[in-house]
Amino acid sequence: MSSRKPRPRSVKGAGLGGVNRALTLGVIMAVWMLGLIGRLYYLDVIDYVQLLGQAERQQQRVVEVAPQRGAIYDRQMHALAMTLPVDSVFAVPAEIADPPDTARRLASVLRLDAKELFGRFEAFRSFCWVKRKVTADEAAEVKNLDLKGIYFQKEMKRFYPKGELAAQVLGYVGMDDQGLAGLEYGMNSEVQGAPGHIVLSTDAHRQSYASSESVGLPGKSLVLTLDENIQYTAETILDETVRKWRAAGGTIVVQNPNTGEILALASFPKFDPNVYSKFRPREWKNRGVAWVYEPGSTFKLVTLAAALEAGLATPQESVDCQQGRIVLAGHTIHDHKPFGALTVEQVLVNSSDVGAIKIGLRLGQERFYRTIRDFGFGQPTGIELPGEEHGLLKPPSRWSGISIGEISMGQEIGVTAVQLLTAYSAVANGGILYPPRIVHEVFRGETHETAPPIQGRRVVSVRTAEEMKGMLRQVVEQGTGKHARLDGYTAGGKTGTAQKIDPGGHYSHFHYVASFVGFAPVRRPAIAILVAIDSPVGAIYGQEVAAPAFRSVAEQTLNYLSVPQDNPTRWLQLAAQPPVRSPRQIRAGRAGIPLSVSERTVAAASPVQNVALRSAVREPDRATELVSGGPLVAVPDFSGQAVRWAAEKCETVGLELVVAGSGLGHKQKPAAGALVPAHSSVWVEFAR
C-alpha cells in the first residue's frame, strides 16, 4: 500500500488571506472610529445646547421672584403704597430627615394644614414653598425651630401704610405681586418691573449643593394727583353721611376744575388692601368710575346750558310750567309741586321738571344728543383707572316719544360720578372740558415722565358758562341747594333726586340716589365736588342728604388749600391744623418703614401736613372791598406776624382779615399804612 504525501499550501495564498482579513478589520475599525467621532461631534457640538438644557432641568430648579414694585405717592409725595422685603419659607424635602414631624411643627407655627404640607414634601424633592411672605414673628418662630432642609428667601411684599385710604383707587396685588384691581392693575406694566430668579442646583441624590439669585429690575413709581388730606376729608364725611342715612353706599369726588386733576375719590363701602381677601367683592368696587346711575335734576345743567348756547333761551326768559303738569306721547309728567310762569333761572333754582322738559323740547333730539356727547356722556373719560363704565346714552334713533323729556330732567340716561363732575367743572372754569386724570407723574430713579398738560376743548362759550354759574349760585342762595351754603365762600351747584330701577325694570318708590354737584368759589372756582348717596333711608332728597356733605367737604378743602374767601364772614375762618405725628412716624415715612397697626391707624386718620396746591391759591383781583362812607383806618403792618396776632389786630382797628397760607405774615394788600374805610377787607398771605 503506497502512501501519498500531502501537498503543501501555497505561501502566496496564505499571505493574501491574512492581508484581506487585516484590511477588513482595519476598515471596520476606521468606520467605527469615524462613527464614534461623528457621534461625539454631534453630541458635543451640534446637540450641545439641547443636552445642556436637559441636564440643567434635571439638576436645577428655577424659582421666579417678583421684583420690587414701584411706590405710589400722593401729590405731596406721601407714600400710599410701597414694597418692602420680607421672609418667605421654602423647603428642600430631600434634606428633611422626618417629613411628617417637620410638617407638623411648621404647620403649628405658620397656621397651615399639616397633611397638606406633608403632601407637598412627598410630591417635590428639590424645592417647595412652605409659606410665602410671612410676618416677622412667624419668621422668628420658624428660625427657632432650627429644622434641617428649611430655608428662607427674601421676597417683596406690598404694604399700604394708610390702610383703607384711597383703597379703591390704589387697588391691591396678589401673592405674586400682580396687580389685581385699581391702579395696581391698570398701571401694572409700569409699576411691576422685571422679575428676578433663584436657581437651586442638586446632585444625583437630589441633595442641594448650590444656589444663586439674580435681582430683577424695580418697577416705576407713580405720583398721583390725589391729595392725602383732601382724600381723608372726603372719606370721613362720606362715611358719616352713609352711616347717618343707612345708605347702601356712595361716592364723593373732588376735582380741580381748571386742570381736570382728581384731588380725592372716595367710595363706600371701603376695604383694606393689606387684607383685601377678608372683604367682599362689592366692597372693592370704585363707585367713582364703575357705578352708573341716573343723575336726576343734576343733569339739568346740560339741558339749560345747551339751550343757552344755542340761543334758544335766556336766564330771564319766562317759561310756562303749566301748574306742574305736562303730557308727552300720552304720558303725564308731574312736577314735585305746581309752578306757573318761571324764568329759566327759576326753573333751575326750583328744579322744575316741567320747565326743563319744555326747554329740552326746544333743542330737538339731534342737537340735544350732540351736546350731551360734547359734555362727555355715553363714553369713557379716559381716566387712568380700570373698570371705567361708559354710562348709558341711546342714540336718537332709539328714543321714544318721551325720551327727550325724560333725558331733559335727568332720567333715561346713565352717568358715572367722574363724567358728571367733569361736566360741571367745564361750566365752572369758563366752558373748557378737561378730561379727568389721576396720575401726575411716572418715574424710576432720576428718569421722570411727567404727564403732559391736558388739552381741553371748549363745549360752551364763556358767556354761557358765566350765565350758568350765576344761575347755579342762585340754586345755593335761594333754591333747593340752601343746605350747601358755605361759610366764607360763594358756591354754585345743583341738587338731584333720582329714582332707581327695581329688578322688574320699573322706577322704584323706595330706592333713590340723592346727589349734589357744585363748585366754589363761584367767580374763580378752585374745586368742584360731587356727592352721590345710594339708597338713603329716612330722607331721599339731595338737598337733605348730599348738600350738607358737599358743604363740609368744600369748607374744609378750601381752608386747607388756603383759598382766599370771597364772601368772608365777620369771624375769621381758620383751617384746622393737622395732628402732630410722632418722631418714629416721621422717620418711618421718610425711610419707607411700615408702621405698627396702631401707628398706621393714626397716620391714616391724620392729615400729614398743611400744604396748599399752588395752582389753587390766587391773589384777589381787588384786595379790599371798600365800604362807602365812614372813617378811614390805617392798615397795620402784618410782616412777620402770626395769624392770631393779625386777627386780633384787625378786630381792634375794625378791618376784615382774609387769610391765605399759614405761618408768619409774608405779603399783604393793601400795603401797610394805607388808609382804607372801616370794615374793609385786608388780604394777607402767611408763609413758613
Residue 358 φ/ψ, nearest 5 degrees: -65, -35
The DSSP H or E segment spanning 341 is strand 341-343
Query: What are the start-end ranges of the H helices in 386-444?
Result: 403-408, 417-428
Rg (CA), the chain: 37
Residue 21: partners with Cβ closer than 8 Å, 6 or more residues away = none
297 is catalytic: yes
Please state the separation of Cα 250 from the chain's center in Å.
Answer: 16
How far apart are the C-alpha atoms of 514 and 482, rounded to whole Å?
A: 15
Instruction: Say if residues 542 and 296 touch (Cβ distance below 8 Å).
Output: yes
Task: Give me the torsion for CA of 398, 412, 553, 603, rounded to 10°.
Answer: -70
Residues recorded for the chain: 688
Q: How many helices (H) and strands (E) does the chain have?
A: 22, 28
Instruction: Say if residues 495 and 541 touch (Cβ distance below 8 Å).
Output: yes
Pairing of strands 150-159, 331-334: unpaired
Q: Which of 527, 546, 526 is nearest to 536 (CA)?
A: 546
C-alpha cell at 294: 341716573
C-alpha cell at 68: 420690587
DSSP 509-526: EEEEEEEEEEEESSSS--
Q: Which of 294, 286, 292 is nearest to 384 (CA)?
A: 286
Task: Classify each residue of 646-674 as buried b or exposed e, where b means 16 or more C-beta atoms within 10 Å of its C-beta.
Answer: bbebbeeeebbbbbbbbebbeebbbeeeb
Active-site residue identified among 267, 297, 535, 562: 297
Task: Give bridge partners of residue 341 from the DSSP assignment.
Answer: 320
Identity of residue 610: N
* Cis geometry, peptide bond prior to residue 536 (ω within 30 degrees of 0): no
Q: Quick count: other Cβ atoms within 10 Å of Cβ 529?
A: 30
Instruction: Say if residues 97 and 150 touch (Cβ distance below 8 Å).
Output: no
In Å, what is the CA distance from 121 to each residue of 56, 100, 546? Answer: 22, 9, 58
Task: Give me the torsion for CA of 627, 631, 634, 638, rounded to 10°.
Answer: -50
How far apart are the C-alpha atoms of 673 and 538, rounded to whole Å?
A: 56
How far apart are the C-alpha atoms of 64 and 56, rounded to whole Å?
A: 16
Give Dmax (Cα) for the chain. Answer: 179
How far apart are the C-alpha atoms of 101 and 93, rounded to whole Å?
A: 12
The DSSP H or E segment spanning 534 is strand 527-534
> Which three-class secondary structure string do you get for 652-688?
HHCCEEEEEECCEEEEEECCCCCEEECCCEEEEEEEC
Cβ-based burial of 407 (10 A; exposed 0-12, middle 13-18, buried ≥19): buried
Instruction: Say if residues 470 and 537 touch (Cβ distance below 8 Å).
Output: no
How far apart are the C-alpha atoms of 567 and 569, rounded to whole Å?
A: 7
Cβ-based burial of 539 (10 A; exposed 0-12, middle 13-18, buried ≥19): middle
How far apart are the C-alpha atoms of 170 and 172, rounded to whole Å?
A: 7
The residues assigned a catalytic role are: 297
